[in-house]
Structure 1
Amino acid sequence: MSQVKSVVPLNSRSSATTNDSGAFVSSGLRVGGPYRITITSDQGTKVFDNVFLWSSRNLG
């Protein structure tokens, strides 16, 4: 399993742990960004910068 940390706008933080297949859920994140996603596992650390979230929900 891996630890997943998200640094969200306004320096808030969110953490999650992956399941056996590597999937994770991080709820409560706002649409927009940029986010920095850091994944840490036995294999090392991987960072994804400038990640943006959007909603596919029709608000109309």
Structure 2
Amino acid sequence: MSMMQEKMYMDVDDVCAILGVSKTYAYSLMREYNKELKAKGYIVVSGKISTKFLAEKIYGMKVED
């Protein structure tokens, strides 16, 4: 299984590895995406991002439970 299928949440190092971006940019994306989730009423954890939500935002795919 890939990293995106194993974890419910990813941290900045996971996002950097998957997207090949710097930690600064990964944190920026995570803040933006968590802000979007919070506006939709979801509980968010600072420094983490939902693996499913990231897959939907980055790859445009819906991930089933």
- Judge same fold: TM > 0.5, yes or no: no
Structure with bigger gyration radius: 1
Name the TM tier (shorter chain): under 0.3
Larger relative contact order (C-alpha < 8 A, sep ≥ 6)? 2
TM-score, length basis structure 1: 0.21
Q: Tell me which protein shows more helix as a share of its residues.
A: 2
The structure that is strand-richer by fraction is: 1
